[in-house]
Every structure is written in C-alpha cells, then in structure tokens.
Amino acid sequence: MSDLRTALDAVLADVPPARLADSVRRLIADYRGGRPAEEPLLRNMVDATAYAAYRMPATHAAVTAALRHLPPIGPRSLLDLGGGTGAAAWAVADVFGTVGTTILDQVPEALKLGQRIAKGRLEADWRQWRLGDEAPDEADLVTVSYVLTELTEEDQRSLVGLAAGAARQALVVVEPGTPQGYRRILTVRDQLLAAGWTVAAPCPHQLACGMRGRDWCHFSARVNRSALHRRLKDAQLGHEDEKFSFVAATRTPSGTEGRIVRHPTFRKGLVTMQVCREDTVVGPVLVSKREGSRYKAARDAEWGDRWPPHSSGSEPD
C-alpha cells in the first residue's frame, strides 16, 4: 500500500481538489445509485483522476484483503477485467509479487492515468476493451473488482463467464459490502459452483449461504486517507473502513473450517464471535478466559479470520 500511496501522491500532488469536486460528487451518487450504467461512469480524465484520488486506495485495500484469503497458488500472470486505474493489479503485486499483468477496461483515460501512476513501479499491459469485444487471453489469476455494479444482470453473467473461462488457477470477484453487492456475489458464487469451481473464501463450504435472507456477508479493510482524499470527502478522520463482499474461487479444492463474519466482541473475560461454519450455520461462538490458549487466539482474532485459527485449510496465516 505504501508504494501505491507514494505513486498516487506523486501523480495527484498538483491537482487542485476543487477541480475534482464535481466528479467526486457525481461518482459517489452514481455508485450509490447502484443502477447499471448505460454510458461509462468515468467520462473523462477528470473523472478518472477523481476516482483514483477518492476510491483507488479503498478498492486496493479491499482486493488486497480478499486476495490474502486465497490458498498459496503462486500465480505468474494476472488478468484484471474492468481494471480502471489498476487498483487490483497493485493488490496482486503486494500479495504475490511481480506477475505478468494485463489490465483491460473500456475507458482509455482510466488506463492512461493508471499507467502514469504505475510508471516505474508496476509493469502491465494496459488495453482498452469492452465487454462484447474478443474474449481475453488466459491468465493464472483473474480479478474483477467493483465492476459488476455497473452492469446489467445479463452482462454480469457474461463477464463472470469470461473471467472464469480465462482463469487457469483462481478467480477473485470483489463488490461493495452492501446487501446489493453481497447479492451479486452470491449470484457469482452460484455461477462458479455450477461451473465446477471451488469456493476458497470467504465460505467454509460449497453449500447455500447460511446468511441468505437475514444478513449479508461482508468484510472490512482499513484505509489510511491522504490529505487530498480527506479534502475531497470533506472528512476529518485519517482513515476509513472499506466494506466489501467477495468470492475467491479456485480450480482445485481447498478448505477452511470456519470464518469470523463480524467484529468479535470482548466483555469481561468472554469473546463472542459470529462464525460461519462448514455446516452453513452462522452463529455465535463464545470463548471464555478459562479456555487458556483458545481464549488467547480468540482475543487476537479479527473479522474475516478463520476460526478455529489453525484449521486444516491451506490459506496462509
């Protein structure tokens, strides 16, 4: 993250916040609206710059957190569909190191800006591409981050089908951590399971989601705000928590016994965690001080972690 922050600061240093304010306002409204876009939401270089300034650190943090839940696949190539200014490619580089990277997006200004931000730090092939164009080449890992929001249901299905067809090892789809984002992720999950993929995370099972109908599965990633970011969002706090929903799928089976799906709570020698279990039940697990090392592990446990922590899953700690 530090590298992306430095790179963003270098490119955005001279941009007056007032120039981006209208774009930020419109983009926030468009993304909150959650309707499929008939026209690209990023219309020009000012929009792309506004996006990079106020959203890219957050989407980067969410994708990084999602990628960390993949089993150790060691990808050598990445295809990022709807990659925009390249947040997911930075996340992949942070988690897996240098990989051969292709970033496809419909908006040339976003690609151009992404290339400028990445200059000297992140090598990639940045190409203009729109869903409906020729199918992309295969890669070990394919990412689709914060893209489905902009598409009709039919187009979401086509994009996920293309992504799955191109992914040799793994596919990670990330959406906003809202009830709508979660519902889109559930549909992607169903589509991938039907195509024979294994859900590696967040779910500890391949069955129907136990949260369906009453709650929504989402996680949180801490993002430190830059001075420009704070000014653009008129925010006081030096950080924000990006909520996201995701599915990480692999071609080969992997396992986790359980996943903590909310911030654990701590009260007088008792830790309470909401855990999604292998049998699809989502419910509280209570660990008391009397349980020694289990209590210590529970005190250190965070939202999104596996539970129990040293289960047989192959996910890196």
Q: Which of 17, 71, 82, 258 binds ligand SAM (CB under 6 A)?
A: 82
Minimum CB distance to ligand SAM smaller for 154 or for 234: 154
**With binding defined as CB under 6 A, does residue 203 bind ligand SAM?**
no
Please name which of 182, 196, 226, 222 lies closest in space to residue 302, comparing C-alpha atoms: 222
Please name which of 88, 113, 116 lies closest in space to residue 103, comparing C-alpha atoms: 88
Least CB distance to ligand SAM at residue 10 (A): 18
Least CB distance to ligand SAM at residue 114 (A): 9
d(CA 18, CA 87): 24
- Sorted by sequence, the CB contacts under 8 Å of residue 260 that are 6+ apart come out as 273, 274, 275, 301, 302, 303, 304, 305, 306, 307
Q: Which of 20, 87, 167, 209 binds ligand SAM (CB under 6 A)?
A: 87
**Helical (H) or strand (E) element with 94:** helix 87-96
Residues found in the chain: 317
Is the C-alpha dihedral spanning 250, 255, 256, 257 positive or negative? positive
Least CB distance to ligand SAM at residue 219 (A): 15
Secondary structure letter of residue 95 according to DSSP: H
Minimum CB distance to ligand SAM smaller for 88 or for 211: 88
The alpha carbons of the chain give a radius of gyration, in whole angstroms, of 19
- β-bridge mates for residue 244, sequence order: 176, 219
Q: Mask 35-74, x = binds ligand SAM (CB under 6 A)?
A: -----x-x-------------x--x---------------
Compute the C-alpha angle 178/170/276, nearest 5°: 45
Minimum CB distance to ligand SAM smaller for 130 or for 263: 130
Q: Which of 12, 73, 79, 88 binds ligand SAM (CB under 6 A)?
A: 88
Q: Mask 100-129, x = binds ligand SAM (CB under 6 A)?
A: -----xxx--x------------------x
Which residues from 128-157 bind ligand SAM, rule CB under 6 A? 129-131, 145-147, 150-151
d(CA 262, CA 103): 33
Least CB distance to ligand SAM at residue 31 (A): 7
Question: Which token pair is 238?
Answer: 């030096």
Minimum CB distance to ligand SAM smaller for 62 or for 211: 62
Residues that bind ligand SAM (CB under 6 A): 40, 42, 56, 59, 82-84, 87-88, 105-107, 110, 129-131, 145-147, 150-151
